[in-house]
């Protein structure tokens, strides 16, 4: 292996790498070859305790610093991340299998954006003054304390930063548990924050499976939990956090609709559908996997889609020309193959793809099913792989009702040239993030998150501040106190 993928140790606690080999072994597999590229160990209860103790100690002094001082460190970390974008992107590719063509523009860069944005915002966080006659109230915006972040495997660097940056900007400490499938990248985020001057103990990384996450969530010394993961995990984590009345952010799964009207620019709509189904080999939570296409343009849409899919460059993810990589793991590949089988069995028409690619690693063909109906499994359940379901429609009201007929509410998109219809449809969507004539943009300036079963709270933007801080009201009386006796 020409590139060093084995980190110095499994965990990063109190400003240093920490190893504890008693924890369960976590093999890290490069999805493009199936090769083991690192071995880590899950945190033992002693490691979890060490991380929480360090975070609690460090948070008090961090919160006492000015926002300007805190922000400067985060912005410095953003600069280091950008300087090291190449190496961080290579590591992200090893961790996830996503092509370098993607990771070099979407991962460390997005993490750096979050550090820069919340670093810039740190100094602007204030309470307010509320005059009540000659008396008054002022509010203090205070940190929550120790925040736990738990990540999914699709965007390990981005998730580590999207949770860490606002938490730190608000004066909290963070303990981040990456997904056991992609444990490498968050360690680099911790290293970089440290190098940028973040005091020890404020950004800790502990490895492990669900039980380590659960131990962190249920510890009474933890004040907030932010999870990116599936709905079933979200249910468990939300319930465990509720037992301690903890703050939560839940970024969960989706089965988002993408509606293409007959007046849409077909090439743009096909481009949106490709971005919303095949980027990161379909392993994106907000993907528009139910593509409703107006019956008048359906065949034209499918023909153009198949032509453009032929241009996908499937291969070595490290080759900058490669635009489509493997699934993150053998397990995820098999889950997706099962769904493809269900699509066939339930009568959907396979337009293209549908099989594993005959090469090392966990590669699947980009897959499109047409003539999908609302009741089919592939139209109801989150697949989290490169499988697009195309459904027909004729009428706006009908398609909106069908688009919203799901337990999820993460994202939704519409392609049309009719401005009135575009905004009417966006307003009617039951989803946290909507797109008009585009799909899957996620700039740090905009709130991101789900409604219905897809989540609670918002990441990014000013909205994230509300989820990493709390207001204290201080009443000040200038006149005399009137007591009844
Ligand atoms: P997952 O739910 O299996 O695991 C997510 C994380 O939770 C992992 O780190 C896992 O170790 C941990 N975990 C599992 N059980 C736990 C427990 N009982 N207590 C605490 N932590 C526990 O999800 P995944 O397979 O890693 O990721 C795919 C899912 O994530 C998909 O459903 C996808 O839609 C979702 N996702 C959502 C967003 C978003 O922003 N909404 C982004 C990316 C992925």
- Are the C-beta atoms of residues 23 and 44 closer than 8 Å to each other? yes
Model pLDDT for residues 416-445, shown as the tens digit of each residue: 999 999 999 999 999 999 999 999 999 999
Give the mean pLDDT of 219-224: 98
The question of whether 25 is a catalytic residue gets the answer no
Ligand 1 centroid to residue 35 C-alpha, Å: 24
Class of residue 251 by CB neighbours under 10 A (exposed 0-12, middle 13-18, buried 19+): buried
**Residue 311 DSSP code:** T
- Pocket perturbation via mutation, ligand 1, pick of 40, 157, 233 by most ligand atoms within 8 A of CB: 233
| Phi, psi (rounded to 5 degrees) for 429 | -60, 135
Beta bridge partners of 205: 12, 176
> Beta partners for 350?
369
pLDDT of 294 > 60? The answer is: yes
Question: Mind listing the pLDDT tens digit for each residue in 329-343?
Answer: 999 999 999 999 999
Query: Which is the catalytic residue, given 98, 163, 188, 224?
Result: 163
Q: Report pLDDT for 3.
A: 84
Yes or no: say if 387 and 340 are a contact pair by the CB < 8 Å rule.
yes
> Is 180 known to sit in a ligand binding site?
yes
Q: Distance, CA 353 to ligand 1 centroid (Å)?
A: 27
Which residues does residue 25 pair with via DSSP β-bridges, in sequence order? Answer: 41
- Is residue 472 scored above 90 in pLDDT? yes
Q: Give the N- to C-terminal CA distance of the chain in Å, as an integer.
A: 81
Distance 251 CA to ligand 1 centre (A): 9
The beta strands (E) that lie in 74-213 are given as 129-132, 135-143, 146-150, 173-177, 203-205
Residue 285 bears catalytic tag? yes
Atom of ligand 1 at shortest distance to CA of 454? 41
* Mean pLDDT computed over 103-123: 98
Sheet architecture: strand order including 224-228 = 16-18, 11-13, 203-205, 173-177, 146-150, 224-228, 247-251, 455-456
Residue 170 is a catalytic residue: no
* 384 phi-psi bin (left φ>0, alpha ψ -120 to 50, beta other): left
List C-alpha distances in Å: 107 to 114, 121, 205, 450: 11, 21, 18, 21
| Residues 371 and 332: beta-carbon distance below 8 Å | no
* pLDDT(226) > 90: yes
Per-residue pLDDT of 56-101, as tens digits, reads: 999 999 999 999 999 999 999 999 999 999 999 999 999 999 999 9
Residues recorded for the chain: 485
Q: Average pLDDT of 395-419?
A: 98
pLDDT at 2 > cutoff 80? no
CA distance 365 to 357: 6
d(CA 383, CA 282): 9
Query: Rounded to an integer, what is the distance from CA 191 to the centroid of its chain?
Result: 21
**Dist CA 253 CA 233 (whole Å):** 10
Q: What pLDDT does 412 receive?
A: 98
Residue nearest to atom 5 of ligand 1 (CA): 229
**Percentage of the chain modeled with pLDDT above 70:** 100
CA 24 from chain centre, in angstroms, equals 26
* Domain ranges (residues) in the chain: 11-253+454-472, 257-436
CB-count exposure of residue 120 (10 Å: 0-12, 13-18, 19+): middle
Tens-place pLDDT, residues 143-186:
999 999 999 999 999 999 999 999 999 999 999 999 999 999 99
Q: How far is the CA of 227 from the centre of ligand 1 (A)?
A: 7
Does the pLDDT at position 1 exceed 60? no
| Dist. CA 325–CA 278, nearest whole Å | 10
Structure tokens given for 235: 């249910």
CA-based nearest residue to 53, from 155, 162, 204: 204
Q: Each residue of 440-467: pLDDT tens digit?
A: 999 999 999 999 999 999 999 999 999 9
Q: What is the pLDDT of residues 378-394, one digit of tens each?
A: 999 999 999 999 999 99
- Are 253 and 382 contacting, i.e. CB atoms less than 8 angstroms apart? yes
* Beta strand pairing call for 257-260 and 411-415: parallel
Instruction: Give pLDDT, residue 161.
Output: 98
Q: Max Cα separation, the chain?
A: 87
Record the pTM.
0.97
Pocket of ligand 1 (CB under 6 A): 150-154, 177, 179-180, 209-210, 213-214, 217, 228-230, 233, 236-237, 251-254, 285, 382, 384, 410, 450, 455
What class is the 11-253+454-472 domain? alpha beta
pLDDT tens profile 250-273: 999 999 999 999 999 999 999 999
Which CATH superfamily hosts domain 257-436? Aldehyde Dehydrogenase; Chain A, domain 2 (3.40.309.10)
DSSP 46-106: HHHHHHHHHHHHHHHHHHHS-HHHHHHHHHHHHHHHHHTHHHHHHHHHHHH---HHHHHHH
Strands (E), 100-200: 129-132, 135-143, 146-150, 173-177
């Amino acid at each position: 292996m020409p590139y060093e993928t084995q980190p110095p140790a499994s965990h990063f606690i109190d400003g240093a790498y920490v190893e504890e080999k008693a924890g369960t072994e976590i093999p890290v597999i490069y999805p493009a070859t199936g090769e083991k590229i690192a071995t880590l160990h899950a945190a033992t209860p002693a490691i979890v305790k060490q991380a929480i103790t360090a975070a609690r100690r460090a948070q008090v002094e961090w919160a006492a610093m000015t926002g300007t001082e805190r922000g400067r460190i985060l912005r410095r970390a953003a600069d280091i991340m950008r300087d090291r974008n190449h190496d961080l992107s290579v590591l992200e590719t090893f961790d996830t299998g996503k092509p370098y063509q993607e990771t070099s523009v979407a991962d460390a860069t997005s993490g750096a954006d979050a550090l820069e944005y919340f670093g810039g915002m740190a100094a602007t966080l204030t309470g307010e003054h509320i005059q009540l006659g000659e008396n008054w109230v002022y509010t203090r915006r205070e940190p929550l304390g120790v925040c736990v972040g738990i990540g999914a495997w699709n965007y390990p660097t981005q998730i580590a930063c999207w949770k860490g940056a606002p938490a730190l900007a608000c004066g909290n400490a963070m303990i981040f548990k990456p997904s056991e499938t992609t444990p490498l990248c968050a360690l680099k985020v911790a290293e970089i924050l440290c190098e940028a001057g973040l005091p020890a103990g404020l950004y800790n990384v502990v490895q492990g499976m669900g039980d380590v996450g659960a131990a962190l969530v249920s510890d009474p010394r933890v004040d907030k939990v932010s999870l990116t993961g599936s709905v079933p995990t979200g249910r468990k984590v939300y319930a465990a956090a509720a037992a301690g009345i903890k703050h939560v952010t839940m970024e969960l799964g989706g089965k988002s609709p993408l509606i293409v009207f007959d007046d849409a620019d077909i090439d743009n709509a096909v481009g949106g559908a490709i971005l919303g189904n095949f980027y990161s080999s379909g392993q994106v939570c907000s993907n528009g996997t139910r593509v409703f296409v107006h019956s008048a343009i359906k065949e034209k849409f499918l023909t153009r889609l198949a032509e453009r899919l032929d241009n996908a460059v499937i291969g070595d993810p490290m080759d900058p020309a490669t635009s489509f990589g493997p699934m993150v793991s053998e397990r995820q590949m098999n889950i997706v193959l099962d769904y493809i089988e269900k699509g066939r069995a339930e009568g959907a028409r396979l337009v293209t793809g549908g099989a594993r690619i005959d090469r090392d690693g966990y590669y699947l063909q980009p897959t499109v099913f047409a003539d999908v109906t609302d009741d089919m499994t592939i139209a109801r359940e989150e697949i989290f792989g490169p499988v697009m379901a195309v459904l027909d429609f004729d009428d706006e009201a009908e398609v909106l009702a069908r688009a919203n007929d799901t337990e999820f509410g993460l994202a939704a998109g519409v392609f049309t040239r009719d401005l009135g219809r575009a905004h009417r449809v966006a307003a009617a969507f039951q989803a946290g993030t909507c797109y008009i004539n585009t799909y899957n943009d996620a700039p740090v300036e905009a709130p991101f998150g789900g409604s219905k079963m897809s989540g609670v709270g918002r990441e990014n933007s000013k909205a994230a501040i509300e989820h990493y801080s709390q207001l204290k009201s201080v009443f000040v009386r200038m006149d005399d106190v009137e007591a009844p006796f």
